[in-house]
Amino acid sequence: MMELEIRELRPENYAEMIALWERAGLSYRPRGRDSPAAIAAQMERDPDLFLGAFAAGKLVGTAIGSDDGRKGWINRLAVDPAYQRRGVARSLIAEVERRLQGRGREIIAALVEDWNTASLALFQDCGYVLDRTILYLSKRTAPWV
């Protein structure tokens, strides 16, 4: 059984976190909301929602919760390929949910690309209900944000 520690990430974990996202093939926005400055600001604002999973001291998973005051969201969920299918993502989701629910959020949601069968299976395995009628629209100040 793998020992997993889930704890809050700090700005000094940035490089390790990006390296993990690269290994996992997670798409992210290095010049936008995932820049070092943007990540540090988000960690400062909501330190309790910025989580890493560590196995033997090594960062093997991340989940960033966000709270818009109406719903909680799970973002940037990624697990090192060498540690996948061992329940790391399930544990991260459970911990983000616990923290968001502690803030009073009764709905927790995630945006998942339609091709991402692993992530769709994961969230449904964790009790999330897929709504196929919703399409995502966004307005950006720049394409990279």
Ligand X SMILES: CC(C)(COP(=O)(O)OP(=O)(O)OC[C@H]1O[C@@H](n2cnc3c(N)ncnc32)[C@H](O)[C@@H]1OP(=O)(O)O)[C@@H](O)C(=O)NCCC(=O)NCCS
CB of 28 vs ligand X, minimal distance in Å: 10
**# residues near ligand X by CB under 6 A:** 20
CB of 39 vs ligand X, minimal distance in Å: 17
Binding of ligand X by 78 (CB under 6 A): yes
| Phi/psi-derived region of residue 56, left when phi > 0, alpha when psi is between -120 and 50, beta in every other case | left
Binding of ligand X by 116 (CB under 6 A): yes
Site string for ligand X, 85-104 (x = CB under 6 A): xxxxxx--------------
Q: How many alpha carbons fall within 13 Å on the CB side of residue 54?
A: 11
Binding of ligand X by 25 (CB under 6 A): yes
Binding of ligand X by 23 (CB under 6 A): no
Distance (Å, rounded) from C-alpha 2 to C-alpha 98?
Answer: 22
Binding of ligand X by 20 (CB under 6 A): no
Considering only CA atoms, which of 54, 50, 52, 32 is closest in space to residue 42? 50
CA distances from 2 to 45, 84, 86, 100, 127 (A): 31, 12, 8, 26, 24
Contacts with ligand X, residue ranges (CB under 6 A): 24-26, 77-79, 84-90, 112, 116, 118-119, 121-122, 125
